[in-house]
Amino acid sequence: MMAEDAMETACRSGARAAAQRTRILQAAQKCFVEHGFHAASMATIAQTAEMSPGLIYRYFRSKSEIILAIIERQLEIVRERIGSLHVANDLAAGIADSFHAPTDCHDDMIIAPLFLETSAEATRDPQVGAAVAAVDTAVRTEFTRVLMRAREEGGYGLPEELATKRALMLLCLFEGLKVREAREPHLDHGLLESALGDILGLLLAPQSAEPAG
Amino acid sequence: MMAEDAMETACRSGARAAAQRTRILQAAQKCFVEHGFHAASMATIAQTAEMSPGLIYRYFRSKSEIILAIIERQLEIVRERIGSLHVANDLAAGIADSFHAPTDCHDDMIIAPLFLETSAEATRDPQVGAAVAAVDTAVRTEFTRVLMRAREEGGYGLPEELATKRALMLLCLFEGLKVREAREPHLDHGLLESALGDILGLLLAPQSAEPAG
Amino acid sequence: MMAEDAMETACRSGARAAAQRTRILQAAQKCFVEHGFHAASMATIAQTAEMSPGLIYRYFRSKSEIILAIIERQLEIVRERIGSLHVANDLAAGIADSFHAPTDCHDDMIIAPLFLETSAEATRDPQVGAAVAAVDTAVRTEFTRVLMRAREEGGYGLPEELATKRALMLLCLFEGLKVREAREPHLDHGLLESALGDILGLLLAPQSAEPAG
Amino acid sequence: MMAEDAMETACRSGARAAAQRTRILQAAQKCFVEHGFHAASMATIAQTAEMSPGLIYRYFRSKSEIILAIIERQLEIVRERIGSLHVANDLAAGIADSFHAPTDCHDDMIIAPLFLETSAEATRDPQVGAAVAAVDTAVRTEFTRVLMRAREEGGYGLPEELATKRALMLLCLFEGLKVREAREPHLDHGLLESALGDILGLLLAPQSAEPAG
DNA sequence: AATGAATGAGCCTTCATTCAT
DNA sequence: TATGAATGAAGGCTCATTCAT
């Protein structure tokens, strides 16, 4: 009721504030991975972030805003990854490795449970649905572009129609891997890598004559 | 007063009891799809089932038992579907169609949001994790078997190692489709069908000489 | 709404009805002893009485009416026991024996937990309080009368004032034994009997010269 | 901001926390006396304590923990009282006075309804049963010791066997008084005091020759 | 007379959020 | 900025009671 700088309604700015927000988001992500969006309580998040529950509300308006931020960050990671299709040499190995990576609070990974809950939430929350659809469309578009690009330019030289189909299937495949990560975490690493090698070989092979579907 | 001594699944037996259980499960499934496992309240489920909250507990011991029952039913559907790979003629079309099917309480469909939440839950609840892993392993095994079976016997005549890899990728692909269903519900139906046709053609093609990965 | 014999508002009459009431009361008593007045549910009582919950309400208007009936029966037993002071020979042994009697549904025993819960309830429910106080006063009066009666008439020949005091103390003693029964159920039987013999000897001894209080 | 690192009894520490715990326990005791352990609701307790229901759970894990705390406190009072037999002068008056003391939330009194419900609960809850039995045994032991102690040392000079019996009977008598307090709250004070004087005179009298039982 | 399915109020408990300090 | 005590609205679940059969 005294010094009350009421002009800062939303979030804060400045280096300190950013650090706090990051701290909270990392804690929240850890809790969400461990318990899910709903089962993770603000108290637990606060404890994990080693701060008081009240303080969190200085940086986020609500729990749902934190969830949105986490989802947004996950989408951001996807956006950052767009284009990694270039490096076709060890693609299978890279993807397979990220499969068995530890679920730590790595800030640059698509965490399977978060991905799944986000995808489910997309069917309920229009805001999430729109954001997710936008990113996915962008990814498919970029995938398609890379598949169409000439081989000598680091692409795969597929004709547009085929590239569009293959891009979609690639996306499904990668997302399916996230599902697999959650449902069968002890999946054999060697099998996974060679299976990926096989299918990527098929999908990205230079086109001469298509097999009859 | 009708067939009295029927299968005693859980708490009560009898035709009436079975009908009530079904009614509850359908209502619960609807609520879970709309709000998620944890956000759906027993009160909402009761209202959807057009009964009082207390009555539900005559047929299910707890909310979590209902969740488990729903999950178990979804897994059951998967089990029932194992082997549909045989019918390779319109496989792509069939899968694509089920993609755009209405999300009604149809009792024989794998509902995308439920599938995703279940997969996420598998990460946390060991009971769910075990059930899910068991089913998935069975599916992969059956997929592999079909891929290995001779063409004249309705199979695809793949050698074992390749069949194992392709089965895994097929599973990922199908699961990825469920993700897509949630994230991009308005995906173009024709594209999806032809993309599926293309990739299934690649994966299930008769083997003469493999393309170099 | 059809044949509705509305003239039977309260309980039923007839041999069958009485038997049912008894059956219910015995079941209720057993449940109350095991779980307490509040923790025992009507469903449990019904199950114990091997009848449906609904049927109970044909014979008792409410659970609280059953509780009252049980309390009333316990008081009745007390009333019936009034006057047993006559038989002074084996009084100590008799009391001590009833201490270690099995807690079965014996219909003619003062059950310790019921006695205690009833006494507690007496401080809350005026109806119970009044009934209990009435019985206790009667008991004290009768005790006093016996203590005053001449020895040759089966009494103890105490003067009125002393008899009044001793009657009160005897009542406390007996009630204290009920408490002991609940709190120290494995109390040594021999000790109890001889302790009772000792104190009864003191209290009921022929009066020549009183000790100075 | 005051004495910060105090005794950490349960969940929280600090002067404020202790005060809150006390506040809750006093409110709970009042409610338990008025309604009984099970009939008193957390909402009522919270209202009595003039706080929100949720806050109680900051200081107690559950209702049952509160009940246990109340019971434990009552037992503690008994422990503190052990040994008051010394002061034989006005013993009868003192006991009689405490009989008619107001039932306020005095923190150092054995409240009759609580005592009775606790005793009944001892029959059902093993934890309560054990605690109660332990205290009672201690009390009897101490009573016996005092009765055996030489008169010149503030005791009553009874031989061991007799002391054991009389100690048991004294305990019953005192407990019976608690029953009486609940069942006949308007019992004549003068009568009670003189009756106690009489019986204590008998039980604690110097031993020369026992009367024949 | 008898059943047991059904109701709905109320109970214990949790938790997102606020606010005095 | 930071705390954590406090709130109060649900949430899951139980149970006395009713009623169609």
- CA D30 to C1' E19 (Å) is 30
- The reported pLDDT for the residue numbered D208 is 63
Q: Mean per-residue pLDDT for D139-166?
A: 92
CB pairs under 8 A between A and B: 179
Per the CB < 8 A criterion, the answer to whether B165 and B149 are in contact is: no
Query: What is the distance, to the nearest Å, from the Cα of residue D190 to the centroid of all Cα atoms in its chain?
Result: 23
State the burial class of residue A152 (Cβ atoms within 10 Å of its Cβ: 0-12, 13-18, 19+): exposed
- The reported pLDDT for the residue numbered D108 is 86
If you average pLDDT over every residue of chain D, what do you get? 88
Q: Which three-class secondary structure state does DSSP give residue C212?
A: coil
Residue C92, pLDDT above cutoff 80: no
- The reported pLDDT for the residue numbered B139 is 93
Residue D36, pLDDT above cutoff 50: yes
The model's pTM: 0.91
DSSP chain B: --S-S----SS--SHHHHHHHHHHHHHHHHHHHHH-TTTS-HHHHHHHTTS-HHHHHHH-S-HHHHHHHHHHHHHHHHHHHTTTTS--TTHHHHHHHHHTS--S--TTS--HHHHHHHHHHHTT-HHHHHHHHHHHHHHHHHHHHHHHS-GGGTS----HHHHHHHHHHHHHHHHHHHHHHHH-TT--HHHHHHHHHHHHHHHHSPPSSPPP-
- The reported pLDDT for the residue numbered A57 is 98
Which residue's alpha carbon is at the shortest distance from the C1' of E21? D1
Identify all chain C residues contacting D177, using CB atoms and an 8 Å cutoff. 172, 176
- pLDDT band at residue C212, thresholds of 50, 70 and 90? very low
Task: Say yes or no: Cβ of D11 under 7 A from any atom of strand E.
Answer: no
- How many percent of chain C have pLDDT more than 70? 85
Q: Using a CB cutoff of 8 Å and minimum separation of 24, what contacts does C128-131 make?
A: C128/C68, C128/C71, C129/D183, C131/C71, C131/C72, C131/C75
Per the CB < 8 A criterion, the answer to whether D40 and D32 are in contact is: yes
Q: Could you tell me which of B110, B129, B124 has the C-alpha nearest to residue B175?
A: B110
Phi, psi of A11 (to 5 degrees): -100, -175
Radius of gyration of chain D (CA): 20
Domains recognised in chain A with CATH numbers? 1-61 (1.10.10.60), 64-206 (1.10.357.10)
Q: Torsion angle, CA of D11/D12/D15/D19, rounded to 10 degrees?
A: -50
Taking only the tens place, the pLDDT of each residue in D5-25 is 333 444 567 888 999 999 999
- Give how far C111 is from chain D: nearest CA, Å: 11
- Give how far A189 is from chain B: nearest CA, Å: 12
Residue C24, pLDDT above cutoff 80: yes
Taking only the tens place, the pLDDT of each residue in C137-157 is 999 999 899 899 998 888 889
- The DSSP 8-state label assigned to residue D207 in this structure reads P
- The reported pLDDT for the residue numbered A189 is 93
At B15, list the tokens: 């035709």
Dihedral sign computed on CA atoms, order D208, C156, C198, D115: negative
Residue B8, pLDDT above cutoff 50: no
Whole-number Å distance between alpha carbons of D174 and D27: 27
Whole-number Å distance between alpha carbons of A176 and A181: 9
Q: Which of C46-60, C136-150, C198-212, D158-172 has the lowest mean pLDDT?
A: C198-212
Question: Among the ranges A74-88, C16-30, C69-83, which has the highest mean pLDDT value?
Answer: C16-30
Which residue's alpha carbon is at the shortest distance from the C1' of E1? C55
Token look-up 């075990």 returns B130
Q: Which residues of chain A have pLDDT under 50?
A: 1-11, 210-213
Whole-number Å distance between alpha carbons of D154 and D88: 9
Residue C110, pLDDT above cutoff 60: yes
- The DSSP 8-state label assigned to residue A84 in this structure reads G
Task: Say yes or no: Cβ of B55 under 7 A from any atom of strand E.
Answer: yes
